[in-house]
Chains A and B, each alone.
Chain A
Amino acid sequence: MASSCSQALRHHACKSSRILRIHLQKSWPNRGFALNSAADNQPAVSSLEEIVIPKKKTWSKEAVLQALVSTVNRDPTASDYRFQDDPYLTPKTSLDFKLFSLSQESGRNTAKYFINKYPNYFQKDYAQPHIPCLMPETLEARIEDLSEAALTERIELRKVRAAVDLYDQLLQAGTSVSLDVTNDLLDLICFYGDRDPAQENVPEQRSEETEDVQEEPQPRKGRAPKASDLLKATWKENNNAERIFALLSEPNTRSYSALIRGMVKYGAYSRAFSTYTDLLNNRLTADVNIFNALITAAPEVQEKYNEKWELIVDLLKQMAEQKVKPNLLTFNAVLKALRRCGALGKSQAFPVISEMKALSIEPSLASYNHVLSIFYKTGAPIQGQKDILQEVMYEVSGKSFTPQDPDDAQFFITAMRICLDTKDIEQAYRVHELLRVGENWRLMGNDLKQNIYYTRFFSLLCLMENVDVVLKWYRDLIPSVYYPTSNIMTDLLRALDTDSRLDLIPQIWKDIKLLGHANRQKLVEELLALMAREKHSQEVQESFADCALDIKRMYNTGDRGKVMMSWTAGSLSDVISVLLAAQRRQDAWDTLKLFKTHNRVPSAELLNQFLTCVKESGDVDQAVELVQISAGFCLPETPELIQRIQQEFELSEQHKSILSDLEIRTFNSE
């Protein structure tokens, strides 16, 4: 209806314009020409224009969602997305974070385990269309007879022992197994080092990673469990892989590839090289995987730096001879090997990168990571190699990387470590900027690596930046992505100190409590010392006093088996002087009594300070009591205190007698 209406309208408009045109033509015959031509041409032009019907566009199934994702930014006030389901479970400390994420993951794994363990209870398929990933996986072999198909099934299920047994049975029965299946079997055996794989459902975060991050673990730490597996599992001579390999009448390159890779993976480096020689003797050519494995093994079989490098170059030359095209992993292996070639690495790293570029292999973050590691050894002094990091950042900045190498995830923490070592805040910002490009954030790695990265970044910020910038980052990062350790909080306090923004301490203390560092004695003592050190304005002192009382409470309550802090003389006197500065005499008096209960001795300075404060209020009783306390600790300065009281206070008779009594007693004790 509406459309027909509009059509009619348009028609009408057309008509009227035509009428108008006729009128115009009549009235101005001369000018009519221009007008006419213009008006008449219009439809002609539109008919000439070809109507291009756009092609139907097929969207990928994620396109809509990806567009939506691009509209969402990180909310610095929210916790990680994983924990947003249940506000009660919002982690507040790094320990909570680990606990919650691990339990979430382990819950998933448990569910999966039960579904796979008892598939018969999970056969009902509600979903339409069918969702394969929700159905139980088959983990048990179903083909029982002696056949190649059964062997293939066992290989797919990664049952090393069963597959080897079946293979032997097949051979004994006289059935020949095709070369491809045998190669698959070899792959399986070599990959798992001739033993059954461990439980597949390993949690996403391993137990080893729950160690304190404070120790700044080596970059390799993330894969520590694997490394330890490697140490346990070594290549045994004449294991099943070698035995089956020997049974092959005509092993091809793939068979050799499986064997050599397995040998390298399980530490039989020299055997790998001899197998390679064997391959060459059989007039076969190696494939890229063999070379990658051998390059990885090269630093292990040679002692001297130059010998290692010569071996690598030799391998690369053989690759070129055999017309094997190197890939990214080849060069990453070369660079990784160069890390162990001492000074040679520094001279050869860039030619390797240039070679990559000449072959139009774009270096991945792992390549840059190796370059950085070559030039900046951990613990080694930095001798003006700042520029290498700069060059690397110049190369990578603005680029979006896709994960291609397991070592890619090392780049960010390595780069940040160098920034921290060289105190180069500018490059640190560039590294951090790179993280925001594209999908680069994925390459930061798991939670442990993120934590290391942010620890380095933030301690660098605390060192180099002024406190406003530090606090800006602090608000941005903590606690949504990063749960700082107590050492980092100490750094932050020092940053506040250097820029004399100590008035922010009560705020920071709240965060410290939230982050679960309120029972870190070192941190708390540092905080108290900072508060007590200087005089501030009245309101700041008030907030300090509140904060100090709060801290005092922390000392008293050792709930849920947490480590109890013990009062020291320093911390007690710090609390008292903060309270005195805020004119909280009563609180200070209560605290003063703690000296006695905790067997600490107050300093004369503190008592003098206290006395000054008491004098301001003119409370004679308290002053005398103070001296009594002082005498109770047998402080050598007690006579001076008595003298002061006698001079500065108007004493009653009773007080005088007490004082003189004390005077005599202290005199006697001396």
Chain B
Amino acid sequence: MYRRLIHIYQVRNGLIHIQNRRLPSTKCKERESFVPVIWATGRASQRPLGTSSISFSENKESSTSLSEDNKKRPEENEASAEVNSDRQENTKINEGNEISNAMLTSQLETEPVVKPEDSKKFDKTKTGKESLLELLGAMKVEVTTIRKIRPPKIPRINERPDPQPMESAHSMFQHATAEGSQQRETLNPTLVAAASAAASTLPNSRQAESELLQQLRKHEAIPETQRRADGQNIGDIIADMKVGKRQNGRSNARPSSQIRFDDDGQGYTQDRGITGELDAVRTRKSPFTSKRLNIFTAGAEQDSLSDLGPTLWDINLAKQIVQTTNQMPRNGFEEMIQWTKEGKLWQYPINNEAGLEEEANVPFHEHVFLEKHLDESFPRQGPVRHFMELVITGLAKNHHLTVQQKQEHIAWFRDYFQQKDNVLKEAEV
């Protein structure tokens, strides 16, 4: 991944270089073996490259922005450090960058433009010297070998707006006098002061300073929107980090290692600081988050053997558990709960029809209109009929009996009158 990023960056540089090809370049020979290849790939896949680079930039932001405020600092730092660094030690990639970044600009920038500014700045430098020292002190001295990998990283931050700074750099040479001061204003004065102060310590101070400032300007040219986006992403990443283990543990694991490679100074210790704290939290409860036995796999399904209902063993286990625990009620309400569970107490919320669930299914007319039961076997008129009508009226009003019981009641009279049939007949006749 990282390598690919570098590669893309090289490609991009190559393209830039191609743009500026007509410009005289002393170092071009060194890169000749390198450029044509990029030329080809750059041509063939210019568009995909653009998109991929954007997606990368997002990816990479998540990876690099671990050290949020580091980002800005190394830039300055690099600017000053580059002056100090011995170029011979740099790798080819590095050289490639510097060619595009530093050499071109240094050659093309018009000395007169820079000069007056420099002289102006020098006054400020006197006061800004301390700030520079502070900055430098804060940054620590970086080992040159680390630089090897560093440079590719910085441009990656402004990958998206890359064309623009290039454009501006390009046009700047043409309208150097016109725009120089404007450009200058975009730079943070303290930065400029620091750069010039750093440059003053070198023998070839002017050139060094111009290089430095150029470098700084390039980074300043990053649009604010991009920055803000970065900031948001950084927030996301920090949030991610706090979450700790997430599904994409890979992307989380990488930034730390990357930073570790980048420099073993600031970034490393910072990374250490945050995760170290988290680690401390984790180790605090480590006994319960220790490694597992790894015998079972989660989610393994049991063959459904024991769905026969509770066996004697299950019942007795439950009983044993109940016996070992305290089941005594602590107050009247708890006792009532216990009684409710045992079915001894009328259930809350109070329902007058509790326990009459079967009866609730019987419609009321079954209870009230009982004439239909009289039709078949009772005489249509006469005293028996009259008597039975009184009976069913009484039954209709009786709420203590079920429909079944009412029917039985009527049936009893039916039998009775059938038995007494002859008596009735005698009396009636």
A133 close to B (CB within 8 Å): yes
Tell me which of A131, A223, A444 contacts B326 (CB under 8 A): A444
Interface residues of A in 406-464 (CB under 8 A from B): 406-409, 441-446, 450
CB-based nearest B residue for A262: B313
- The residues of B that contact A354 with a CB separation of less than 8 Å are 288-293
Interface window among A15-23, A243-251, A313-321, A550-558? A313-321
Select from chain B the residue with minimum beta-carbon distance to A375: B287
- For A129, the chain B residues whose CB sits under 8 A away are 354-356
Minimal Cβ-Cβ distance residue in A for B316 = A191
* Interface: B22 (CB within 8 A): no
**A34 at interface by CB-CB < 8 Å:** no
What sequence of 0s and 1s flags, for each residue 307-330 of chain B, a beta carbon within 8 Å of any chain A beta carbon? 010011100110011111111111
Contact: A191 with B313, CB < 8 Å? yes
Task: Flag if B305 contacts A287 (CB, 8 Å).
Answer: yes
A311 CB to closest chain B CB (Å) equals 14
B225 within 8 A of A: no
Chain B residues near A326 (CB, 8 Å)?
Answer: 296
CB < 8 Å: which of A66, A222, A320, A325 contacts B337?
Answer: A66
Binds A, one of B29-37, B203-211, B340-348, B406-414: B340-348
Smallest CB-CB separation from A223: which chain B residue?
B324
- Do B298 and A359 touch across chains, with their CB atoms under 8 A apart? yes
- Cβ of B401 to closest chain A Cβ, rounded Å: 13
Q: Is the CB of A316 within 8 A of B296?
A: yes
Segment from A180-188, A518-526, A569-577, A588-596 that makes contact with B: A180-188
Tell me the bound Cα distance from A184 to B347 in angstroms. 36
Q: In angstroms, how far is the closest chain A Cβ from the Cβ of B116?
A: 63
- B335:A325 contact, CB within 8 angstroms: no
Stretch from A269-277, A345-353, A499-507 that touches the partner? A345-353
Q: Does B243 contact A (CB under 8 A)?
A: no
Residue contact B355 to A222, C-beta cutoff 8 Å: no
Given A62-B337, A130-B355, A441-B326, CB of A288 within 8 Å of CB of B321: no
Nearest Cβ distance between residue A500 and chain B, in whole angstroms?
38
Tell me if A587 is interfacial: C-beta within 8 Å of chain B. no
**Chain B CB within 10 A, most for which of A261, A354, A395:** A354
CB of A74 within 8 Å of the partner chain: yes
Category for how many chain B residues contact A: 35 or more
B426 at interface by CB-CB < 8 Å: no
Judging by beta carbons under 8 Å apart, are A351 and B325 in contact? no
Which residues of chain A have C-beta atoms less than 8 A from B325's C-beta?
403, 408-409, 442-443, 445
Q: Are B333 and A65 in touch, CB under 8 angstroms? A: yes
With contact pairs A69-B334, A81-B329, A289-B313 given, residues A64 and B349 touching in the complex (Cβ less than 8 Å): yes
**Does B332 sit within 8 A of A, measured CB to CB?**
yes
| Cα–Cα distance between A446 and B329 once the two chains are bound (Å) | 12
Report the separation of the CA atoms of residues A253 and B302 in the bound assembly, to the nearest whole angstrom: 14
CB distance from A368 to the nearest CB of B (A): 10
From the candidates B292, B311, B328, B344, name the one contacting A358 in the complex (CB within 8 A). B292
In angstroms, Cα B346 to Cα A130, docked, is 11
B184 CB to closest chain A CB (Å) equals 55
> A391-B285, A391-B287 given as contacts; is B296 within 8 A of A320 (CB)?
yes
- What B residues does A323 contact at CB under 8 A? 300-303
Question: Are B344 and A319 within 8 A (Cβ)?
Answer: no
Q: For the complex, what is the distance from the CA of A404 to the CA of B317, rounded to whole Å?
A: 9
CB within 8 A of B300: which of A316, A320, A450?
A320
Residue A120 is within 8 A (CB to CB) of chain B in the complex: no
Q: Does A533 contact B (CB under 8 A)?
A: no
Q: Which of B339-371 touch A at CB < 8 Å? A: 340-344, 347-349, 354-356
Q: Is A128 an interface residue, CB under 8 A from the partner? A: yes
Q: Is the interface of B mostly helix, strand, loop or mixed?
A: loop
Given known A354-B290, A391-B287, A394-B285, contact A445–B313 (CB-CB < 8 A): no
In the complex where A403-B321, A450-B326 touch, is A351 in contact with B348 (Cβ < 8 A)? no
- The residue among B296, B301, B349 with the most chain A CB atoms within 10 A of its own CB is B296
Given A61-B348, A69-B331, A316-B293, A360 contacting B341 (CB threshold 8 A): no
From residue A100, how far is it (CB to closest CB) to chain B in Å? 13
Q: Does chain B have a CB within 8 A of A134?
A: yes
* Pairwise interchain contact A128-B326, C-beta atoms closer than 8 A: no
Cβ distance A522 to chain B, nearest Cβ, rounded Å: 32
Contact A187 B336, beta carbon cutoff 8 Å = no
CA–CA, A285 to B303, complex, Å?
10
Q: A65-B337, A326-B296 are in contact. Are A287 and B306 (CB under 8 A)?
A: yes
A231 at the interface (CB under 8 A from B): no
Cβ–Cβ contact B291 & A406, under 8 A: no
Give Cα A180–Cα B294 distance, bound, in whole angstroms. Answer: 36
Chain A window 450-484, contacts with chain B (Cβ cutoff 8 Å), 1 for yes, 0 for no:
10000000000000000000000000000000000
Q: Which residues of A contact B292 (CB under 8 A)?
A: 351, 354-355, 357-358
| Set of chain A residues within 8 Å of B429, measured between Cβ atoms | none
A81 touches B306 (CB 8 A): no
> Which residues on the A side are within 8 Å of B312 (C-beta)?
184, 187-188, 191
* Cα A285 to Cα B305 with chains together (Å): 10
Whether the Cβ atoms of A403 and B313 lie closer than 8 Å is no
Known: A65-B340, A81-B332. A317 touches B349 (CB 8 A): no
Asked whether any CB of chain A lies closer than 8 Å to the CB of B297, the reply is: yes
B295 interface contact, C-beta 8 A: yes
Query: Does the CB pair A406–B343 fall under 8 Å?
Result: no
In the complex, are the beta carbons of A350 and B333 less than 8 A apart? no
Mark out the residues of chain A between 281 and 336 whose CB falls within 8 Å of any chain B CB in the assembled complex: 285, 287-289, 313, 316-317, 319-320, 323-326
Q: Pick the residue among A355, A359, A408 that contacts B324 (CB under 8 A).
A: A408
Known: A129-B356, A316-B295, A359-B296. A222 touches B324 (CB 8 A): yes
- Asked whether, in the complex, the Cβ of B297 is within 8 Å of the Cβ of A320, the reply is yes
Q: Specify which chain A residues have a CB less than 8 angstroms from the CB of B303 in the assembled complex.
A: 285, 323
- Also in contact, A132 and B293, with CB within 8 A (given A69-B333, A445-B324): no
Residue of B nearest to A132 (CB): B343
A360 CB contacts on chain B under 8 angstroms: 298
A403 touches B324 (CB 8 A): yes
Cβ A325 vs Cβ B330 within 8 A: no
Are A81 and B294 touching (Cβ within 8 A)? no
- Cβ–Cβ contact A442 & B355, under 8 A: no
> Within 8 Å CB of A61, what residues of B?
340, 347-348
User: Cβ of A140 < 8 Å from any Cβ of B?
Assistant: no
Residue of A nearest to B351 (CB): A61
Knowing A133-B342, A285-B303, A408-B325 are in contact, say whether A350-B331 is a contact too (CB < 8 A).
no
Contact B293 A352 (CB under 8 A): yes
Judge whether A63 and B348 touch: CB under 8 Å.
yes
B324:A351 contact, CB within 8 angstroms: no
Q: How far is the CB of B414 from chain A (nearest CB, A)?
A: 29
Complex CA distance for A443 and B324, rounded to whole angstroms: 8
Nearest CB on A from B405, distance (A) = 14
Which of chain B's residues have a CB closer than 8 A to the CB of A391? 285, 287-288
Q: A residues within 8 A CB of B324?
A: 222-223, 403, 406-409, 445-446
Tell whether, in the assembled complex, residue A62 and residue B340 are in contact, meaning their CB atoms are under 8 Å apart.
yes
Given known A-B contacts A62-B341, A350-B287, A352-B293, A72 and B356 have beta carbons under 8 A apart? no
Min CB distance B266 to A, Å, is 35
Is A598 in contact with chain B by the CB < 8 A criterion? Answer: no
Task: Return A531 CB to nearest CB of chain B, in Å.
Answer: 38
Any B CB within 8 A of the CB of A382: no
Can you show 20 pairs from A to B with CB atoms below 8 A apart? Answer: A61-B348, A65-B336, A65-B348, A72-B331, A81-B331, A82-B328, A129-B356, A132-B343, A134-B344, A187-B313, A254-B305, A288-B306, A316-B295, A319-B296, A325-B302, A351-B293, A354-B292, A395-B288, A442-B327, A450-B326
**Knowing that A62-B341, A64-B348 are A-B contacts, what are 18 other residue pairs whose CB atoms are under 8 Å apart, sorted by A's residue number?**
A62-B337, A65-B333, A65-B348, A66-B337, A68-B333, A191-B312, A222-B324, A288-B302, A323-B300, A325-B296, A326-B296, A350-B288, A354-B290, A391-B285, A403-B322, A409-B325, A443-B326, A446-B326
Where the two chains meet, the residues of B that have a C-beta atom closer than 8 Å to any C-beta of A are: 285, 287-298, 300-303, 305-306, 308, 311-313, 316-317, 320-337, 340-344, 347-349, 354-356
The 3 nearest A-B residue pairs measured at CB: A129-B355, A354-B292, A325-B302
